[in-house]
Amino acid sequence: MSLSSVYASSECAISFELFPPKTEAGLEKLCQSIDRLMGFGPKFMTCTYGAGGSSQAMTLDVLRKVKQISGLPVASHLTCVGSTVDELCEYLSQACEIGIDYIVALRGDPPKGSESFEVTAGGLRYANELVELIHQRFGQLGIAVAGYPEVHQEAPDAKADLANLKRKVDAGADVIITQLFYDNADFYRFRDDCQAIGIDVPIVPGILPVTNFAQAKRIATMCKSAIPAGLEKAFGGCSCGEEEFEIGVEHARHQTIDLIENGVPGIHYYVLNKSDAAEKMLDGLSMSV
């Protein structure tokens, strides 16, 4: 199934994002989570890798396992960080050999300890260059790219950020998956702005259910995602982790219902290798308007 065809149906297509576990116990837990997540009919699953490509081999191993368990299409993240063009092509060749279907093509964040992104000698500077490389040399792979409803933290303004996004789409991206956000109004504004400049590929919102408020604040700070005052106030009144879980899951459930009612082609869930929040959030929901 091509990546663009995933979103051709009138039904909202869901997908889940995983990351490579560090231990065998973590891998076993991940496999159990995948079994439960399959009950919600995802169309594909993605897997990240560590900063600077530190867990690329594990990412491919995880995706091989996910595909064996689920039978679903799978997508690997790939960044420009720390890799030459030859090394990127080698990874893409390996991905194709084991049956990876799609690539989430990213420039990547600066490695830990670095204040800004630095181009590797013989490497690529921008995500649109990576998209072009994949599109030209590995045309069988579907390509997803990142969008930022609240503007990428390094972009000077929203206009420049949208221009960068359009370059990625024009280079051959099939779909845009957004960074997490907690206020759907940010997504709708972003979607309208994309359409206004001629971006016509599916724009898929990315949702991270908050199950730990301190962790959510750290993530939101890193990616410049605002936590609505009402939600922050609700978390401030929590006395235990269980209450935080309930509030965060309910907020993500309301986001999901509203997004479906407003005609999104799909929703991508950052599940952090856990199924409990996704199970509670999606239980009983219809993916059709």
Q: Which residues pair with 17 in a beta bridge?
A: 46, 270
pLDDT score for 235: 84
pLDDT per residue as tens digits for the range 205-224: 999 988 888 877 887 777 77
**Mean pLDDT (whole number) for 248-260:** 95
The answer to whether 213 touches 179, Cβ cutoff 8 Å, is no
Domain presence at residue 288:
no
* The pTM of the whole model exceeds 0.75: yes
Closest Cα partner for 179 from 200, 196, 161? 161
Catalytic residue among 11, 17, 246, 261: 17
Mean confidence (pLDDT) of the chain: 90
pLDDT confidence band for 114 (50 / 70 / 90): low
The answer to whether 145 touches 165, Cβ cutoff 8 Å, is yes
Domain presence at residue 220:
yes
Domain presence at residue 31:
yes
CATH of the domain at 71: 3.20.20.220
Phi, psi of 15, rounded to the nearest 5 degrees: -145, 160
In percent, how much of the chain has pLDDT > 90? 63
Provide the angle, in degrees to the nearest 10, between the axes of the packed helices 229-236 and 241-261.
160
For residue 204, what are the domain limits? 3-282
DSSP label at 217?
Answer: H
Domain presence at residue 289:
no
pLDDT per residue as tens digits for the range 134-192: 999 999 999 999 999 998 888 889 999 999 999 999 999 999 999 999 999 999 999 99
Question: Is 17 a known active-site residue?
Answer: yes
Split into its structural domains, the chain has a count of 1
pLDDT score for 221: 77
Domain presence at residue 33:
yes
Quote the tokens at residue 161: 């950020």
Residue type, 64: R
Domain presence at residue 287:
no
Quote the tokens at residue 277: 């929040």
Domain presence at residue 88:
yes
Alpha helices in the chain (DSSP H): 3-6, 24-37, 56-70, 85-97, 127-137, 158-170, 184-196, 213-223, 229-236, 241-261, 276-282
